[in-house]
Structure 1
């Protein structure tokens, strides 16, 4: 892209977002892995402990908090993945126009990697959220007098 373009500042601003988006996607994948471990522990031991306490309002509060976390994990990483997919494609296509196909290939690789990271974290959040929702509904039905 020509640096004298009147909206060159906008392109520069958007380009700066790529690295934070990629770092956030990597963090989201780590969080998804941690959430999967927490959900496993929750299923194996945590729900039984909560049931033993018998405090419905506590269970509802914990369920709401954990489901909100899973829902955010299911929604935000795919959006960040899309953002990190689109950002490198502009410069990559511009490079192709300048006769630099290797630069486009590099941009497309980054774009696909970002998409995959966003989908991995999002799928994990969706699955964890669905499982937790079912577990807590069953637990609340069991304890509801």
Structure 2
């Protein structure tokens, strides 16, 4: 079994992760808003310009990077949300055992907020990834037909 020292060290290390997880989630939320703007600009003007340019290789490279970014948001943000849920629950449940309900309330609030934010960013990434795949496939098909 683990010694109380190793458990204590692990508890402190995990406790230090909460702040970076929250900042990373906020960064991903900002990136998802920016990505929505980029996707709207693409849809209403950018894709037509790419299609007319006929630069298939450059477009494929750009498409790959943007789909990869959407997939990254869709996968990583929910993981960070889960981390942000679990990290404060340990101290919150400890506080409940000591009768300190205010600490438990704060921990639960952080846990729910990080879960919701992580899932929301993940949904945005998933939807943008799906839309972009369809849009880019249409443009690439059109570009290939134009060259034939």
Q: TM-score range by the shorter chain?
A: over 0.9
The answer on 1:139 being equivalent to 2:139 is yes
Partner of 2:114: 114
**Partners in 2 of 1:65 and 1:110 — Cα distance?**
32
Partner of 1:130: 130
Deviations 1:16-39 (A, max 9, x none): 000000011011100000000000
- Pairwise CA distance, 1:5: 3.1
The answer on 1:97 being equivalent to 2:97 is yes
Aligned length: 142
**Partners in 2 of 1:102 and 1:60 — Cα distance?**
53
Structure number having the greater helix percentage: 2
Q: 3-state DSSP class of the match of 1:144?
A: helix
- Pairwise CA distance, 1:58: 1.3
Partner of 1:54: 54
Partner of 1:33: 33
> Structure 1: where are the runs of 5+ without partners?
none
Superposed, 1:7-26 pairs within 5 Å as 7-26=7-26
**Partners in 2 of 1:112 and 1:24 — Cα distance?**
16
Runs (4 or more) in structure 1 with deviation over 6 Å come to none
Partner of 2:4: 5
Q: 3-state DSSP class of the match of 2:44?
A: helix
TM-score (norm 1): 0.95
> Structure 2: where are the runs of 5+ without partners?
none
**Partners in 2 of 1:143 and 1:27 — Cα distance?**
35
Q: 3-state DSSP class of the match of 2:4?
A: coil
- Pairwise CA distance, 1:116: 0.9
TM-score (norm 2): 0.93
**Partners in 1 of 2:88 and 2:72 — Cα distance?**
25
**Partners in 2 of 1:143 and 1:33 — Cα distance?**
29
**Partners in 2 of 1:36 and 1:49 — Cα distance?**
19
